[in-house]
Amino acid sequence: MATQIIMDLNGDTRHNFDAKDVKALLEAERRFKALTDAGFTAATRTASGESVVTRTFDPTVEETLFFPRLVGG
Amino acid sequence: MFVTLLCDANGQLRRPVAACLDLARGFREWYLRPSTREQRGLKLLREWLSQEQLAQYDAHKYFEVVGCHSGKRYRIHHGNGANVIELDDAALPRTGWCFVPNDHLVAGDVMLAQKIALETDERGALAAANNFTPR
């Protein structure tokens, strides 16, 4: 089961999906595109735990984290 | 006579005053407890920190990251604004950087976004940031 984690006002919202389910995969890809188009950064982790920013949807990734655009505070 | 009455009154008052203090203490603990969303943000942060960063955070309420472009060290303190401090070679505060996600997020989420930004796009993060002189 793969997960997309979106940071939001509730802390985060998680969308779990089965990467073998074509319909769920399309929905996950649509969500990825909608979020990144809206300025969210998508990040994943390597096996060693290193964070990596990704710009394209990868159906093999287990966990993707989205956080909103960063601005000066 | 007067002293006896005073002692009696004192004895009778002690119990309700202690009960009030207990209530006040309980209210304070309830009021200051992390909210569910704050707890969720901290849980997510802890999942994404390296072991070293997690140990630092548990011990000091901050953790350090290395900028991906410059190799500089940054200390991210617990908080959701003006909480990123660039360190010099002697690990002393050099410059404060303020950059946050443009939605109102809990501290755990803010710190995690700052960590990932510095580790993957340091220049982009600092370009968006305002700087300040750390105390």
Residue pLDDT, tens place only, A13-72: 999 999 999 999 999 999 999 999 999 999 999 988 899 999 999 999 999 999 999 999
Residue B10 tokens read as: 């004192």
ipTM higher than 0.90? yes
pTM value is 0.84
> What length does chain B have?
135
Chain A residue with CA closest to B113: the answer is: A67
- Can you give the pLDDT of all 135 residues of chain B as single tens digits? 666 766 676 777 788 888 878 888 877 766 666 689 999 999 999 999 999 999 999 999 999 999 999 999 999 999 999 999 999 999 999 999 999 999 999 999 999 999 999 999 999 999 999 999 998
H helical segments located in B34-86: 36-48, 51-60
Name all domains of chain A by residue range, CATH numbers in brackets. 2-67 (3.10.20)
Q: Which of A5, A6, A10, A12 to mutate to test the interface with B (most CBs of B within 10 A)?
A: A12
Residue with structure tokens 């990704």?
A54
Neighbour-count burial for B50-73, b at 16+ CB within 10 Å, e otherwise: beebeebbeeeebbbbebbeeebb
Q: Which of B49, B41, B46, B135 is nearest to B96 (CA)?
A: B135
